[in-house]
C-alpha cells in the first residue's frame, strides 16, 4: 500500500487473438498489478449521466481509479479486483505535466464488467 493507494487491482489487456473470421476473440491476459485509490461516482455525477442517457437509469456503476503514472494503460483494457469484480475502462487521463498519476474511469455492471 502506498499512501492513499490502498487497493491492489489487476489490469488486463486483450491478447490480440482472432477467430477464423479474423474477429477479436475477447480473450484477456494479465497486463500488470497496480496499487490504486478508488473513488465512486458522486450523486450529482449519477444524475448527470442519467440525464445524458435521456433519463434512463442503468445498473452501471462508475468509479475512478488513480494509479502511479503509467502510459501503458489504455481504454482497451479492463480492471479486475480480487473478488472477481470486472470494470470496463471508459477513459484514461495521464498527468503529462508532472508524471505523477494516471486516472482511469471505469464501469462495472455491463456485459463484461
pLDDT in the model for residue 41: 66
pLDDT in the model for residue 83: 92
Q: Please list the residues that pair with 79 across neighbouring strands.
A: 11, 87
CA–CA distance, 28 with 22 (Å, rounded to integer): 17
pLDDT in the model for residue 2: 58
Domains of the chain are: 7-108 (2.40.10.270)
DSSP single-letter state for residue 25: -
98 CB neighbour count, 10 Å cutoff: 7
pLDDT in the model for residue 67: 95
Per-block mean pLDDT, blocks of 10 residues, the chain (113 long): 78 93 92 92 54 57 92 96 93 95 88 53
pLDDT in the model for residue 50: 53
pLDDT in the model for residue 45: 56
Amino acid at each position: 500500500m502506498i499512501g492513499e493507494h490502498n487497493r491492489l487491482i489487476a489490469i488486463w489487456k486483450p491478447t490480440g487473438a482472432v477467430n477464423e473470421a479474423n474477429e477479436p476473440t475477447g480473450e484477456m491476459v494479465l497486463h500488470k498489478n497496480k496499487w490504486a485509490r478508488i473513488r465512486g461516482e458522486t450523486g450529482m455525477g449519477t444524475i448527470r449521466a442519467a440525464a445524458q442517457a435521456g433519463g434512463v437509469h442503468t445498473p452501471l456503476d462508475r468509479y475512478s481509479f488513480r494509479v502511479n503514472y503509467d502510459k501503458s494503460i489504455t481504454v482497451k483494457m479492463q480492471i479486475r479486483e480480487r473478488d472477481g469484480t470486472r470494470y470496463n475502462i471508459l477513459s484514461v487521463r495521464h498527468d503529462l505535466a508532472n508524471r505523477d498519476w494516471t486516472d482511469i474511469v471505469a464501469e462495472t455492471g455491463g456485459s463484461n464488467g
